[in-house]
């Protein structure tokens, strides 16, 4: 009993090391995640409405969305959305739980392919796998509920691979059927899911049986893939307008599309580790070459290692094939897009790295044992492997630091969007709010008219909460900020198309959480025609009010006279206090006269 207890206690430091990456990512999601739907998520209210009214049809689930069939993710969205008032945190947590289950599958596969050798090399490899698998460079996927599909596909693919590699768990027949069902789910969760069929061919060939049985299984497997692909592409008519415009505007792309595609592919393969515009493609090429070198070593030179290697070969192929599909669908946006917007693409592509780590472990073990290396040579091999693991781990952590910067910006704009969505009934149908890149509504969804329509659906369905009666406080007791006067303190006269700029500063003096936005109104309107982000550095305000919280309390906004009525307008600035649920006017008012359009 004492020996067993001491053994458990000895494992505690190792368990803690394994827990650090997932716990860090859980904190990351809770700290930077925001309960607000944005972009593609706004296709879901109509789905909720159809379900509630009893008119939901299979075609609603099957319909194409941006090249993808999202049947199973839509079912998840329906279940979570209608049960939990469409709280986006539920989707984020679902993605995280799928990632946890997927990593457990990877760990179990590693145990299967390293029998009776759970030593330092094993744990070093799997700790690196955990670090990369839960890396923050996937910040867009961790923080966007719509990306449940990505994590679901990974879960299905790894689970299918595990089932096919675990002969003691199920009979061969049910291994085959179970993995086929999982590949079917992956196929109709997003386009990359189709790659699971092809990637898992090595696992299918690894099933026990005679040569004839294996050939039959392979034939049926390929047939199932073709059937899935045929169904997937029924009525497949993606919008190619953006792609066509890219070819028209970029002569180099039109002349060398294959070069752009390959460059893009190499960039996204390297994206979990580095984000250099100059060197990413080089590292991507090295990673790909090393993967094929490992295949040569483990399949051609040492075919007896196939039984240990085939699960990781399948996982590596899935990461590679997914990367190819992503590159094929996005390369026209430019090779650098694969770096600058790589966060969304890494969740699949990093599986190639995971496979390389695990195949390297198998290869290193074989080299040490098969060649009967001298003790010093064996130690050198292990040390070299450890140094490489350390370098890769360091690169992953550095990419995580970059991800924090990006996630901070994303979270800021999502929180601003959350505020605007809650207050949408107070936001006018103005040119600024409908079209400006600085509009907090445009940040949520670029087509504001469509957004307002979907908000009406949510109100009817009683999903989410929207502000209805908020008081306007014009004479607060505390100092909340200032609307700077116009030049020379004189009224401004502009025409409808002319731009004008206003600036100032704003705070919530008795709150730790500072505002992200101010809103502008005219005359006595109890609604707003524009917003501004509070991001401008104001060290003078922080020094004056003796609080570092006010270091970036400044704001500035540019809008045209189109957002104002013709004639004289008194402009006021307001800040929203969510704690007291009231709009509070900032000190100062400006007068702007808008002249009508010139008659031709």
Write out 103-143 in H/E/C secondary structure.
HHHHHHHHHHHCCCCCCHHHHHHHHHHHHHHCCHHHHHHHH
* pLDDT digit string, tens, across residues 13-43: 888 889 999 999 999 999 999 999 999 999 9
Could you tell me which of 230, 169, 234, 226 has the C-alpha nearest to residue 197? 226
In this model, does residue 48 exceed pLDDT 50?
yes
Tell me how far apart the alpha carbons of residues 413 and 397 are, in angstroms, rounded to a whole number.
Answer: 25
The pLDDT value recorded for residue 22 is 95
Indicate whether 373 pLDDT > 70.
Answer: no
Torsion of CA 184, 190, 193, 195, to 10 degrees: 130
> What sign does the dihedral 513-519-523-527 (CA atoms) show?
negative
Q: Measured between alpha carbons, how far is 199 from 318 in angstroms, rounded to an integer?
A: 5
pLDDT at 201 over 80: yes
CA dihedral 577, 583, 587, 588 (to 10 degrees): 140
CA-to-CA separations, 443 to 336, 455, 480, in angstroms, rounded: 23, 15, 26
The 3-state secondary structure of 218-257 reads HHHHHHHHHHHHHHHCCCCCCCCHHHHHHHHHCHHHHHCH
Condensed to tens digits (0 to 9), the pLDDT of residues 114-163 reads 876 667 788 888 998 999 999 999 999 999 999 999 999 999 999 999 99
Q: Determine the pLDDT at residue 90.
A: 95
- Whether 444 and 72 have beta carbons less than 8 Å apart is answered as no
Q: pLDDT tens digit string along 77-93?
A: 999 999 999 999 999 99
Q: Provide the 8-state DSSP code for 597.
A: P
More confident residue, 426 or 6: 426
Predicted confidence band at 374 (pLDDT cuts at 50, 70, 90)? very low
Distance CA 232, CA 140 (A): 26
Which conformational region is residue 85 in: left (phi greater than 0), alpha (psi within -120 to 50 degrees), or beta? left
From residue 368, give the alpha-carbon distance in Å to each of 304, 364, 374, 380.
16, 6, 9, 10
Q: Across all residues in the chain, what is the average pLDDT?
A: 88
500 pLDDT more than 70:
yes
What DSSP character marks residue 40?
G
Predicted local confidence at residue 422, as pLDDT: 94
Residue 160's pLDDT is: 95
Q: What is the pLDDT of residues 516-531, one digit of tens each?
A: 999 999 999 999 999 9
For a pLDDT cut of 70, what percent of the chain falls above it?
A: 94
Cα distance between residue 574 and residue 535, in whole Å: 16
Q: Is the pLDDT of residue 580 over 80?
A: yes
- Residue 117's CB: how many other CB atoms inside 10 A? 11
| CB-based contact 593:494 (threshold 8 Å) | yes
Q: pLDDT tens digits, residue range 394-405?
A: 888 888 888 899
Mean pLDDT confidence for 199-209:
89
Give residue 514's pLDDT band: very low, low, confident or very high (50, 70, 90): very high
Q: Which of 520, 516, 547 is nearest to 531 (CA)?
A: 520
DSSP string, 462-517: T-S-------EESS-SS--EEEPPPGGG--EEEETT-EEEEEEEE--TT-SS--SE
pLDDT reading at 1 higher than 60: no
Q: Which of 179, 93, 103, 67 is nearest to 351 (CA)?
A: 103
Cα separation, 365 vs 302, whole angstroms: 13
- Residue 251 has a pLDDT of 81
Query: Which residues, other chains included, contact 454 with Cβ-Cβ below 8 Å and sequence gap of 6+?
Result: 42, 45, 46
| Nearest to 348, CA basis, from 335, 330, 360, 369 | 330
Q: Is the pLDDT of residue 265 over 80?
A: yes
Taking the C-alpha atoms of residue 485 and residue 590, their distance in angstroms, rounded to an integer, is: 6
**Residues 565, 552: contact at Cβ < 8 Å?**
no
pTM value is 0.91
Q: Which residues contact 418 (CB under 8 A, 6 or more apart)?
A: 34, 35, 36
CB 351 within 8 A of CB 318: yes
Of the candidates 234, 202, 233, the one whose C-alpha atom is nearest the C-alpha of residue 218 is 202
Q: Are 319 and 352 in contact (CB under 8 A)?
A: yes
């Amino acid at each position: 009993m004492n020996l067993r207890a001491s053994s458990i206690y000895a494992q505690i430091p190792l368990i803690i090391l394994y827990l650090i990456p997932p716990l860090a990512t859980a904190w990351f999601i809770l700290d930077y995640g925001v309960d607000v739907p944005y972009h593609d998520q706004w296709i879901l209210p109509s789905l909720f409405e159809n379900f509630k009214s009893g008119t939901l049809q299979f075609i609603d689930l099957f319909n194409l969305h941006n090249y993808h069939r999202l049947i199973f993710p839509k079912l998840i969205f329906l279940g979570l959305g209608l049960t939990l008032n469409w709280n986006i945190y539920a989707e984020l947590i679902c993605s995280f739980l799928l990632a946890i289950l997927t990593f457990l599958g990877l760990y179990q596969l590693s145990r299967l392919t390293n029998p009776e050798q759970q030593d330092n090399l094993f744990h070093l490899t799997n700790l690196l796998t955990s670090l990369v698998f839960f890396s923050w460079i996937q910040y867009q996927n961790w923080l966007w509920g719509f990306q449940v599909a990505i994590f679901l596909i990974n879960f299905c693919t790894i689970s299918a691979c595990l089932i096919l590699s675990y002969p003691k768990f199920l009979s061969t027949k049910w291994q085959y059927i179970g993995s086929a069902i999982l590949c079917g789910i992956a196929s109709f969760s997003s386009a990359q899911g189709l790659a699971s069929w092809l990637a898992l061919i090595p696992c299918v060939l690894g099933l026990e049986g005679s040569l004839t049985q294996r050939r039959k299984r392979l034939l049926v497997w390929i047939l199932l893939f073709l059937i899935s692909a045929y169904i997937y592409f029924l009525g497949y008519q993606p919008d190619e307008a953006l792609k066509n415009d890219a070819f028209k505007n970029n002569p180099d792309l039109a002349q060398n599309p294959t070069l752009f595609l390959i460059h893009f592919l190499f960039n996204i393969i390297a994206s979990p580790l580095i984000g250099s515009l100059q060197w990413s493609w080089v590292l991507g090429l090295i990673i790909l070459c090393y993967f094929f070198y490992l295949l040569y070593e483990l399949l051609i030179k040492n075919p007896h290692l196939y039984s240990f290697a085939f699960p990781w070969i399948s996982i590596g192929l899935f990461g590679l094939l997914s990367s190819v599909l992503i590159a094929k669908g996005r390369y026209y946006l430019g090779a650098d897009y694969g770096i600058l917007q790589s966060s969304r693409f890494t969740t699949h592509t990093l599986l190639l790295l995971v496979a390389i780590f695990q195949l390297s472990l198998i290869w290193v073990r074989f080299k040490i044992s098969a060649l009967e290396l001298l003790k010093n040579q064996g130690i050198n091999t292990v040390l070299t492997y450890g140094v490489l693991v350390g370098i890769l781990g360091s690169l992953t952590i550095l990419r995580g630091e970059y991800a924090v910067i990006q996630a901070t910006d994303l979270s800021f704009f999502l929180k601003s969007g959350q505020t605007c969505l809650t207050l949408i009934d107070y936001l006018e149908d103005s040119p600024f709010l409908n079209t400006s890149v600085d509009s907090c509504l445009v940040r949520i969804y670029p087509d504001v008219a469509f957004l307002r329509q979907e908000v009406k659906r949510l109100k009817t369905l009683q999903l989410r909460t929207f502000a209805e009666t908020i008081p306007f406080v014009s004479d607060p007791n505390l100092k909340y900020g200032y609307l700077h006067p116009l030049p020379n303190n004189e009224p401004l006269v502009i025409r409808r198309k002319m731009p004008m700029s206003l600036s100032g500063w704003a705070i919530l003096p008795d709150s730790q959480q500072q505002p992200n936005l101010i809103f502008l109104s005219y005359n006595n309107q109890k609604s707003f025609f524009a917003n501004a982000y509070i991001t401008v550095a104001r060290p003078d305000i922080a020094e004056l009010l003796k609080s570092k919280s006010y270091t970036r309390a400044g704001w500035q906004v540019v809008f045209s006279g189109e957002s104002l009525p013709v004639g004289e307008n008194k402009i006021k600035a307001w800040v929203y206090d969510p704690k007291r649920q009231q709009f509070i006017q900032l000190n100062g008012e400006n007068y702007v006269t808008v002249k009508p359009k010139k008659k031709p």
